[in-house]
Amino acid sequence: MGSMPQQSPEEACALVLKHLPEIPAWPQLPRRSFLENMYVQFSEGFPGVIVEQDRIYVDRSQNLDQALERLYRAYLENDVEHHGISPDYATGLNSFLRSKLGTATAVKGQVTGPVSFGLVVADQEQRPIIYDPVLADALAKHLRLKAAWQEKMLSAICPNTIVFVDEPYFASLGSPFISLTPEHVVAFLEEVFQGIEGLKGIHCCGNTDWSVLLSTSLDILSFDAYNYGESLTLYPGEVKRFLERGGIIAWGIVPNDERALAEETVNSLLQRLRETMESLCHKGIDYGMLWERCLVTPSCGLGSLTTEGATKALQLLAALSQKLRTERTYRTL
């Protein structure tokens, strides 16, 4: 899903390219530097943003008028050149762009989503910026430009691109602690999506109201199928419509937990995946279509693992993918 535990970008890229040569993803390296934290990494250039040691916030006491004007001008002119990610903020991306991809079908990047970013990053008074109408609107446009710049860089090394919008805080939507309407959520996401010309996806590593995400224009829904696979079966109608319009489900079936990785095998993960798919099949979704529109991924980022654990997760993922291809499992139901 992006994050890796290595501190060396070359080492992380080599591991990804070895095990995921067809759709490699550039690695985020949060252990290397706080600048590669998933919120800090895409904050560069946002009006009023302050990064101090291990803290990020927006200083609303500043006069942000000129900075906001520059952002909106860049947005209106689609000027992505001045909204890139500096090498110090994304050494993994910088190294990935210099890598030899071989016969990659597509390359995958990611950007932190506006809802999660806006809930985590607050102003100097600890108020999340998502609740400031001016900053929230600016944030969605800022991330749109970041996504567009990144896609431009990736398309220079491979014509087919996938950019995920990572939204871990979607798991908290609907709780009494977050007062965002589904309409606001969709509007924020669609703003970012408008900057992505290739395939666009959303990743949520917890349970959420999947109907909200499936109502957007996304192409790939990525979720933690290892821990929350059954949650998707509560929305069979929405899932069916999503698949019928060409949508793809990225099943995060390989755990990102050291203990679970030690216990699981390719066959056990395959069985777990099949059981979840069969639950959807029994609710009226064609089993063949589920398999044909299927990607397999880790359940979430691997940055919290040891380097050995991350390697094990990628090995299991590659082996599971190969088994799915060779056995054509969807025909054996």
Amino acid type, 149: W
Helix (H) or strand (E) holding 201: strand 199-204
In Å, what is the CA distance from 111 to each residue of 229, 322, 332? 24, 28, 37
Q: What does R_g of the chain's alpha carbons equal in angstroms?
A: 19
Residue 41: partners with Cβ closer than 8 Å, 6 or more residues away: 28, 35, 85, 89, 90, 112
* Residue numbers in the chain where pLDDT is lower than 70: 328-333
State the greatest distance between any 2 C-alpha atoms of the chain, in Å, as a whole number. 64
Nearest to 14 by CA among 307, 270, 286, 301: 307
3-state secondary structure of 231: helix
Kindly write down the DSSP assignment for every residue of 18-57, as one continuous string.
HH--SS-BPPB-TTT-GGGSTTTTTTTT-TTEEEETTEEE
Residues of 55-93 as b/e, b for ≥16 C-beta within 10 angstroms?
ebbbebeeebeebbeebeebbeeeebeebbbeeebbbbb
- Helix and strand element counts for the chain (H, E): 13, 8
pLDDT at 328 (0 to 100)? 61
pLDDT at 77 (0 to 100)? 94
Residue 90: partners with Cβ closer than 8 Å, 6 or more residues away: 26, 28, 36, 41
pLDDT at 103 (0 to 100)? 85
Phi, psi (5° rounding) for residue 56? -130, 135
User: pLDDT tens digit string along 45-54?
Assistant: 999 999 998 9
- 216 and 182 in contact (C-beta within 8 Å)? no
The CA distance from 252 to 105, in Å, is 20
Domains for the chain: give ranges and CATH numbers: 9-332 (3.20.20.210)
- 213 and 169 in contact (C-beta within 8 Å)? no
User: pLDDT tens digit string along 25-40?
Assistant: 999 999 999 999 999 9
